[in-house]
Structure 1
Amino acid sequence: MTVNYATPAPEKLFPVAGIRLGVAEAGIRKADRRDLTLLEVESGATVAGVFTQNRFCAAPVHLCRQHLASGRDIRALVINTGIANAGTGDEGMRAAQDTCAAVGQLLGVDAGQVLPFSTGVILEPLPVDRLVAALPRCRDDLQADRWHAAAHAIMTTDTVAKAASRRVEIDSKTVTVTGMSKGAGMIKPNMATMLGFVATDAGVAAPLLQQLVREAADESFNCITVDGDTSTNDSFIVIATGRSGATFADAAAPGYARLREAVVGVARELAQAIVRDGEGATKFITVAVEGGRDREECRAVGYAIAHSPLVKTAFFASDPNLGRILAAIGYARVDDLAVDNVRVWLSSAGHDVLVAEKGGRAASYREEDGARVMQSKEIIVRVDLGRGKASANVYTCDLSYDYVKINADYRS
């Protein structure tokens, strides 16, 4: 069950000139499901990415970093679900390399021009033979309008496919931005257990694209948390094919702000979709922190609230045990925080309830008002630290019985 999210219809996902996608059933871990995706990139595109900070990062993450660092044209991405190829040592690296070699041979490019991605169970070997055997079916399926199918093929515990698309006019040219992501659990910033892929037909110089992918991640995938766990395979890739004719050499280029807004907007939509599909989630919660001295301390407070299992279980039960929020603010390690200046509100559907001020419960607060807000599917926790002008948002969900069930049965 998702919180106010549905996969866009296929026709709502615009093709990106210079990109083709194909999917197949490879039987990586389970039979009779699409679990292998091939994304072909025309020559001349620029590609940039950011990856997990987990020290146990998976073999495909290591290989992606190497291939991107080489500076060569990236001509293909290959994505499997079911097996993460993480915690697999030298065997896992060989599996990732063999995957790239097979894709390269199939498409007539070098293995170093292929980026591999895996997601699924950790500590299990990747069945490369089954993956390689299914690659020709992916190639035969390659089409520009297969984003909808590909978004389904990269799912693991997701209950819905996640995709987004926008078109903007820049200098009399129509620029398309389309993306897809997967993720539902093991979600925490830096980055979450997610894969995200966004493509645009704008042309973006390589240094600027690397800046853009970092900024987009920082404003989207690094603002979400489901359970506070950082995974081994997290990857976010942005591809710029240049086929629209709109090109950008630096951030000062006319129209670049509109492109940036579109890319960040798609990334944020995909990131929020992950939280809306959080394992067992019944509520989508925005933690909006303002009045900080800088963005980082606002984020620290936002993450403290959003990561707290006590806060999240209270929201699941619609129990206005809101002292848990104050406790989380208090342990967020904000130096010299004056608690008398802190104010906290709960908001939903036009209702704005002041909960705490002047170091304690607001005089106007009534528990039935808090409970009414907490029964909503979409809730905003707004915190004013009263010490500056900075702000930041963090997006999370509640923590339900089903989260435990899903993760207890994950390998079954």
Structure 2
Amino acid sequence: MKKIEGGITAAKGFQAAGGAAGIKKQGVKDMALVYSEVPCVAAGTFTTNIVKAAPVKWDQEIVYNHPTAQAIVCNSGIANACTGEEGYGYCRKTAEAASAALSIPEDSVLVASTGVIGKQIPIDKIAAGVEMLKPQLAATREAAATAAQAIMTTDTEPKEVAVQIEIGGKTVTIGSMCKGSGMIHPNMCTMLSFVATDANISKEMLQKALSEVVPDTYNMVSVDGDTSTNDTVLLLANGLAGNPEITEENEDYKIFKEALFEVNKTQAMHIAGDGEGATALFEVTIQGAESKEQAVTLAKSVITSSLTKAAIFGHDANWGRILCAMGYSGAKFDPENVDLYFESAAGKLQIITKGVAVDYSEEEATKILSEPKVTATADIHMGEATATAWGCDLTYDYVKINADYRS
């Protein structure tokens, strides 16, 4: 597997476009279109929030009950959440517009929205946006980058990744774009991820692969503990790589799943590192757990601790907050048998052993915690299981951004 320069158009047969449809301020990119030259099998995972946005309900119907999909229409600025039957009807109208423009079936159009909850989307602008974007569709690197920019809300940068693998003597590519910065606590944020591959794989195995990698990637991210109404991961596969079709859990499936994991892990880290107002990506690894479930619970408890996140922002090795967060997680462990380390590009330092502070240098700890990526590793010495979660520091700017979000 190798990472390559690219995004949503990296795989054969995929085109994209992005532009300003007038949903946001004048001239700001706010709408993206992704299109496959041939029908795709589709897979998806979605928010577990009981309050589900209209596009989530629409996409669940398409992914679960229709054989193929061929296009994705995404707008930013308005989430089309808590909008009732009218909002769901606008999903249908969006699909109708894309169907007419692209000459594809209405039920092969997936839709996604992100932004303010509770407002109806301006469907006339959305429909006009589809018409605007259709002639701009291209398979170029620039087209992918423009589409990635168009789906951003409070993100400070577009998030793209692409990898290549070899399956059955054929080069298979997976490309992705995603957005997410706040309201991030996936349980499949406001998180949207679109993944496109030219792999030849059955719909059943595509869904299986996605469902197997999401728990250890997107579901291990938290910026602020809020699970969005709009969380959506969509995966399209058009088969144009020409590899023998993957229809079972064989070696080809394993290779594909590993590459898909790498793409989604990279994007999960991009989201965490670009958390609203964040200055650092905060990675937490639990080692020596007796079960994966225990490790996951402990890791996620630490990255969602506001006090721990604030300490990371202050470059303060306040390890007591980490041990405290582990203690109220609900997972059982012996606090007097925990070793804790901080690590970054500036070095690695053990902070506690057997639950008690070691004689470490506060100056060295501060230096380690001042890097843009900081890792805390806790070994609880109970078994062989491990889990890693990603979050970010909690800064003044997070409050400012969310206090002013609608205005």
Pairing partner for 1:297 from 294, 297, 304 = 294
- Within 5 A, what are the aligned runs for 1:120-139? 120-139=115-134
Pairing partner for 2:348 from 349, 352, 368 = 352
Aligned residue number for residue 69 of structure 2? 74
Aligned residue number for residue 379 of structure 2? 384
Same amino acid, percent of matched pairs: 37
Does the aligned pair in 2 maintain the 1:14–1:176 contact within 8 Å?
A: no
Aligned residue number for residue 3 of structure 1? none
Normalising by structure 2, report the TM-score. 0.94
Shift of residue 232, structure 1, vs aligned partner: 0.5
Measured on the aligned residues, the alpha-carbon RMSD in Å equals 1.8
What is the distance in 1 between the residues matched to 2:6 and 2:112?
Answer: 26
Classify the secondary structure of the residue corresponding to 2:178: strand
Aligned residue number for residue 343 of structure 1? 339
Shift of residue 44, structure 1, vs aligned partner: 3.9
Aligned residue number for residue 270 of structure 2? 273
Aligned residue number for residue 103 of structure 1? 98
Shift of residue 11, structure 1, vs aligned partner: 6.1
Aligned residue number for residue 88 of structure 1? 83
- Within 5 A, what are the aligned runs for 1:120-199? 120-145=115-140, 146-199=143-196
Aligned residue number for residue 40 of structure 2? 45
Deviates more, 1:217-226 or 1:154-163: 217-226
Classify the secondary structure of the residue corresponding to 2:235: strand
Aligned residue number for residue 227 of structure 1? 224
Shift of residue 366, structure 1, vs aligned partner: 3.7
Pairing partner for 2:395 from 369, 393, 400 = 400
Shift of residue 225, structure 1, vs aligned partner: 1.0
Does the aligned pair in 2 maintain the 1:301–1:329 contact within 8 Å?
A: yes
Shift of residue 79, structure 1, vs aligned partner: 0.5
Q: Do structure 1's residue 411 and structure 2's residue 402 form an aligned pair? A: no
Deviations 1:137-177 (A, max 9, x none): 11111111221111111111111111011122223211111
Does the aligned pair in 1 maintain the 2:4–2:162 contact within 8 Å?
A: no
Q: Do structure 1's residue 282 and structure 2's residue 279 form an aligned pair? A: yes
What is the distance in 1 between the residues matched to 2:103 and 2:55?
Answer: 21
Shift of residue 404, structure 1, vs aligned partner: 0.8
What is the distance in 2 between the residues matched to 1:55 and 1:322?
Answer: 35
Deviations 1:349-387 (A, max 9, x none): 26222212223223x334333323222222110001111
Shift of residue 251, structure 1, vs aligned partner: 4.4
Deviations 1:26-68 (A, max 9, x none): 1113220121111122334211000001111100100111122
Does the aligned pair in 2 maintain the 1:14–1:165 contact within 8 Å?
A: no
Pairing partner for 1:332 from 329, 332, 354 = 329
What is the distance in 2 between the residues matched to 1:12 and 1:367?
Answer: 41
Does the aligned pair in 1 maintain the 2:17–2:137 contact within 8 Å?
A: yes
What is the distance in 2 between the residues matched to 1:377 and 1:60?
Answer: 35
Structure 1 residue runs of 5 or longer lacking an equivalent are 1-7
Normalising by structure 1, report the TM-score. 0.93
What is the distance in 2 between the residues matched to 1:154 and 1:338?
Answer: 45
Alpha carbons of structure 1 residues 11 and 46: separation in structure 2 relative to 1, 3 Å: closer
Shift of residue 22, structure 1, vs aligned partner: 2.0
What is the distance in 1 between the residues matched to 2:151 and 2:89?
Answer: 22
Deviates more, 1:65-74 or 1:180-189: 65-74
Shift of residue 249, structure 1, vs aligned partner: 2.8
Shift of residue 191, structure 1, vs aligned partner: 4.2
Does the aligned pair in 1 maintain the 2:7–2:160 contact within 8 Å?
A: no
Q: Give, as a single letter, the amino acid of the residue that structure 1 aligns with 2:341.
A: W
Aligned residues: 403
What is the distance in 2 between the residues matched to 1:197 and 1:76?
Answer: 11
Q: Give, as a single letter, the amino acid of the residue that structure 1 aligns with 2:47.
A: T
Classify the secondary structure of the residue corresponding to 2:129: helix
Alpha carbons of structure 1 residues 330 and 11: separation in structure 2 relative to 1, 3 Å: closer
Classify the secondary structure of the residue corresponding to 1:63: helix
Structure 2 residue runs of 5 or longer lacking an equivalent are none
Deviations 1:300-342 (A, max 9, x none): 111111000100001101122221111011111113x222211
Aligned residue number for residue 316 of structure 2? 319
Does the aligned pair in 2 maintain the 1:27–1:130 contact within 8 Å?
A: yes
Does the aligned pair in 2 maintain the 1:10–1:148 contact within 8 Å?
A: no
What is the distance in 2 between the residues matched to 1:98 and 1:358?
Answer: 61
Alpha carbons of structure 1 residues 11 and 166: separation in structure 2 relative to 1, 3 Å: closer
Aligned residue number for residue 64 of structure 1? 59
